[in-house]
Chain A
Amino acid sequence: MKISVIITLKKDVLDPQGKVIHQALDGMGFNDVNEVRQGKYFEIDTKETDPQKAKNKVEEMCKKLLANLVIENYKIIDAQ
């Protein structure tokens, strides 16, 4: 089954890349953007067929490797 995870920077962590993207959007005429925050997206294809078990495993992966919990949050957004 495929589990989708997004990793985002925590609120009080500076995101200079997001800022630059925001500025670029501004320059392109998208003037109504308040803020841009850049994150990461992972698709993990696992042999596990039980959705809850698969989610638990991916959560463990997030805590141990995919995210650094000092600066990042993770969210499992899909399992199918």
Chain B
Amino acid sequence: MKSAVITFPGSNCDRDMDVALKKFGFKNKMVWHQDVELPKSDLVVLPGGFSYGDYLRCGSMASKSKIMQSVINFANSGGMVMGICNGFQILVETGLVPGVLLRNKYLEFICKNVFVKISAKDSAYFKNIKNDVLELHIAHNEGNYFCTNDQLKEIEDNAQVAINYCNNEGKIEKSFNPNGSIKNIAGIFNKEKNVLGMMPHPERMIDSSLSGEDGSLFFKNLINNIK
């Protein structure tokens, strides 16, 4: 399986993602934001970080960079595109997934482990993961998911919510919402579910020397499902 990770100026989780993808069997290529064409890939990843210093709005400048037209075409033709953290912010700015990510409700940068419930298991990203709840890491200042009421209705009608913040038993309640996201949303799909945007970083949970290994479940499952 071939993957590509896009590096923007200010990306800082691109190499972690490269390590994670390779560890679980992907042949990964790093792609610079000024490139025009994507290498042949089964999965394209927009990594976390602070692309363009979060100028204007997080992800807004990166969403207009040269490589993004190829990424948008790839996604629109059914290719799998995953945006993590800043990558999620870039995805919403391209319009590939609905909504926006606002400043965290309590204006704090949040860096901690959280639990998320897998709310839709019918996509290649989460299909066949046995656990309903994963412990993953978040580190963001703008992760407060927001969308209009019409968008929310559409997202829910199409079961586009991928993961929600919850407790270790999978209970989705306000008190387990770290950033004020509507309905505790931590990640969403596009309508066709080939594009996934999520705030948590699975690539930070892939080794016993890190604070958990639930990210390994995610990547092992992912490579098995892309076939």
Contacts and interface: CB of A to CB of B under 8 A. Distances in A.
A51 interface: no
Chain B interface: which size bin?
10 to 19
B105 A14 contact: yes
A72 to B, nearest CB: 9
Given A16-B105, A16-B106, A71 B56 contact: no
Chain A interface: which size bin?
10 to 19
Contact of A13 (B64, B102, B151): B102
A28 interface: no
Interface string B27-65: 000000000000000000000000000001100100010
Interface in A50-80: 65-66, 68, 70-71
A16 B106 CA distance: 7
B131 interface: no
Contacts of A16: 103-107
Interface string B94-111: 000001101111110000
A65 B60 contact: yes
Interface in A9-61: 13-14, 16-17, 20
Given A66-B56, A68-B93, A71-B100, A13 B146 contact: yes
A70 B107 contact: no
Interface of A: 13-14, 16-17, 20, 65-66, 68, 70-71
Given A14-B105, A68-B100, A71-B102, 7 more contacts: A14-B146, A16-B103, A20-B107, A65-B64, A70-B151, A71-B100, A71-B146
